[in-house]
Structure 1
Amino acid sequence: MPYPYVAPPFTAAIEVDPDLGNSADSSYASSGYDTSAGSLNNTVNDYVFENGRRYHVYFGADKNFLPTDEREQDRMDLHHEILLRLLNDELHTAPLKDPEYILDVGTGTGIWAIDMAERHPNATVLGIDLSPIQPSWVPQNCKFDVDDIEKPWTFPDDTFDFIHFRNLNQGISRWGVVLREAFRCLKPGGYVEIAETRVGMYSDDGTMADDNAAKVFCEKLAEALAITGRPVPKQGDLDNMLLTAGFVDITPRNVKHPWGPWPKEKRLKEVGMMMLLQGETAFSSYGMAAFTRILGYSTEEAQKFCDEAYASTKNKNCHMHSIHYIAYGRKPETDGEGTMDDCSEEQEMEYGG
């Protein structure tokens, strides 16, 4: 496969539901949609409270700019359900066959690892994260541990059949190092899958203005992440990261998250409603620490960006969506099947190597 790899184009445009209308009243409430949330002692436990949110600090306050409080845990679990709907109830896109050992990197609340353990009762599923926020009552074949994946991994070579990463870009600045460790710890023939929701807002039909508050929010967040050495992934980045790390049979997939119940298709309409619900806390989760710590905004200024961004997603006349990138690759069965490239300085910088 030649480098750089160019991913295929995005999926088709999402069809708008004409029944929502295009009236001067831009609120979803006028169409009968309730968009409120109501409609739906160890040092490792050290936290800091900032801007009304709780952040984990055991591995350093700047390791991850997202909070770990109950509101964020609820949001992450809701986004997990959103992705299940978008992926037709599949937990991954890699073609797994009877995996024995599965690693979920950045497991968060552990919901993906728990679901995988239930679907693969003969497999052992390990979830690792910076924060010990996972439940204690889990399937017997599911375990959790606290660790920093940017440090050398302690797993032996050729341990796992599948390694899963999802929505970790805001917490990883050395992707090249992390993926080389993943390559080492995968069994020959094993798969790695990376999934990232891009920080950005888009519209297929031109109904989103350039000064849309959610679009502006995403542009500012992308600016902040770039300063920290964690640039927002763009089309083809995940594929090229896997290619550079030595994986073969790289397969990308992109899905769209509509914001609001404007799509005509029932499944996407439900996803749109769920996106509005998780958006009630998502903008502050992603924005507050990044805007105040990195960009230097006051708490009041940062909160205004978050509030205005969320309000703009509830405009039924604006058909915006965000993009979720997915790519998986396979570790070669033999030394001759594929080779690991040495990252150039430019690639190291671009991909956080």
Structure 2
Amino acid sequence: MSEAEGNEKIAVDPDVYITNASLEEDNRSETTSISSSIYRGLIENGRRSPADDLQFESLEAGHAVAIVLESDTSNPLFRAPVGSSAKNILDIGTGNGLWAIDVADMFPETTVRGVDIFPPPVTWMPPNCILEVDDVLREWTWREPFDFIHLRIMLGAFTEKEWDIVYQKCYENLKPGGWIEQLELDAHLEADDDSVPGDSMAASWGDVTFGCAERSGRRIDTLNTMSSSIERAGFFDLKEKISKWPIGAWPKDKQLKEAGLINYHMWSAGLEGWGMWLLTKFGTPNPWSPEQVQAYVGKIRTELKNPKVHAYQRARRVWARKPLD
């Protein structure tokens, strides 16, 4: 089953007034300028470590976008029909731990584990939330099987073979009838009009980074491959939701406008980190210098903060369950 929001055109706000300067200022002053109360809450609630860098800021923004775009549902954190009776939930690639922390808040009787290869920069978490540093490609040592396993925005985390290993481990460590859910984004930027022309820096980003990722052996087309990979691992009853994540405050719809403003911050904070390793290691015709990467992403930022550019990226959310027998 597919919920195909991804085919609907996003209406443009004809009265959008955000200029390059004001949008840039919004992203310099997160706690005062960005309108989203959800986003402000994430960075004001004492969970952020003073040592955060731009990549963790980008993760915070991505978490907020996902919540804003699901804010009209009863549970904006996930779609799998997992109720409060779940005893154990695992968040793979937990990053800054915000999803795991929020789910632990929602289900105080559930043990929620977040795992990543880097320690998350958090200063507080609920008592039923456990954040761990581990490599999920190694043997899993958790004793209890999970009711639900969640993954999100993990482009380039694994090779194709390693992804198969991860999904198989998820299958083996879920209870019968348990659920897996994954949300991924496309690196390609699109527009429903001609505001992201093919010769723009923004339009080039997807193909440039896809090529680098291909040469690195860690492809970033997970959005397109995860459904078949999850089914190949043995899961069934697969459902998916395809949607558009706008970048900038240009949409007419209030919910999309809020999400777009936060998503611009995710891109602005994350671009250099996303591109630096790929382009300095696998850029063509030769590896790029750090200065070339900085100049490139600077041009993309300039294009994206133009209110006449109506860019978005596609997102796909997939959830499926393990058979009862």
1:160-188 per-position Cα deviation (integer Å, ceiling 9, x unaligned): 00000011122111110110000000000
Instruction: Give the alignment of 1:252-291 within 5 angstroms.
Output: 252-291=240-279
1:179 matched residue in structure 2: 167
Alignment of 1:311 with 2:297, yes or no, is no
Structure-1-length-normalised TM-score: 0.78
Alignment of 1:166 with 2:166, yes or no, is no
Q: Secondary structure at the match of 1:125?
A: strand
Matched pairs, number = 296
Pick closer, same or farther for the CA change 1:33–1:309 going to 2, 3 Å.
closer
Pick closer, same or farther for the CA change 1:30–1:134 going to 2, 3 Å.
closer
Cα distance in structure 1, aligned partners of 2:21 and 2:28 = 18
Given candidates 82, 94, 108, the residue that maps to 2:65 is: 82
1:29 corresponds to which letter in structure 2?
A: T
1:164-216 per-position Cα deviation (integer Å, ceiling 9, x unaligned): 00111221111101100000000000000111111110111232100121121
Q: Secondary structure at the match of 1:94?
A: coil
Once the 2 structures are TM-superposed, how far is the Cα of residue 313 of structure 1 from its aligned partner?
0.5
Cα distance in structure 1, aligned partners of 2:256 and 2:2 = 27
Q: Judge conservation of contact 1:134–1:144 (CA < 8 Å) in 2.
A: no
Structure-2-length-normalised TM-score: 0.85
Where does structure 2 lack aligned partners over 5 or more consecutive residues?
31-50
Pick closer, same or farther for the CA change 1:234–1:113 going to 2, 3 Å.
closer
Cα distance in structure 1, aligned partners of 2:149 and 2:280 = 34
Once the 2 structures are TM-superposed, how far is the Cα of residue 236 of structure 1 from its aligned partner?
4.5
Q: Judge conservation of contact 1:217–1:305 (CA < 8 Å) in 2.
A: no
Pick closer, same or farther for the CA change 1:7–1:139 going to 2, 3 Å.
closer
Greater fraction of residues in helix: 2
Instruction: Give the alignment of 1:41-56 within 5 angstroms.
Output: none
Once the 2 structures are TM-superposed, how far is the Cα of residue 102 of structure 1 from its aligned partner?
0.2
Q: Secondary structure at the match of 2:169?
A: helix
Q: Secondary structure at the match of 2:231?
A: helix
Between stretches 143-152 and 68-77, larger displacement belongs to: 68-77
Where does structure 1 lack aligned partners over 5 or more consecutive residues?
22-27, 41-67, 335-353
Between stretches 168-177 and 110-119, larger displacement belongs to: 168-177
> What RMSD over aligned residues (CA atoms) do the two structures have, in Å?
2.2
Given candidates 88, 91, 98, the residue that maps to 1:104 is: 91
Alignment of 1:294 with 2:282, yes or no, is yes
Instruction: Give the alignment of 1:1-353 within 5 angstroms.
Output: 10-20=6-16, 28-29=18-19, 33=23, 35-40=25-30, 69-88=52-71, 90-97=76-83, 98-156=85-143, 159-173=145-159, 174-233=162-221, 236-295=224-283, 296-334=287-325
Cα distance in structure 1, aligned partners of 2:136 and 2:112 = 16
Cα distance in structure 1, aligned partners of 2:305 and 2:190 = 15
1:55-79 per-position Cα deviation (integer Å, ceiling 9, x unaligned): xxxxxxxxxxxxx952221221121
1:15-44 per-position Cα deviation (integer Å, ceiling 9, x unaligned): 1112238xxxxxx4279655542232xxxx
Q: Judge conservation of contact 1:29–1:35 (CA < 8 Å) in 2.
A: no
Pick closer, same or farther for the CA change 1:30–1:85 going to 2, 3 Å.
same
Identity over aligned pairs, percent: 29
Q: Secondary structure at the match of 1:231?
A: coil
Q: Judge conservation of contact 2:275–2:293 (CA < 8 Å) in 1.
A: yes
1:212-243 per-position Cα deviation (integer Å, ceiling 9, x unaligned): 21121222111111112222226652211111
2:48 matched residue in structure 1: none
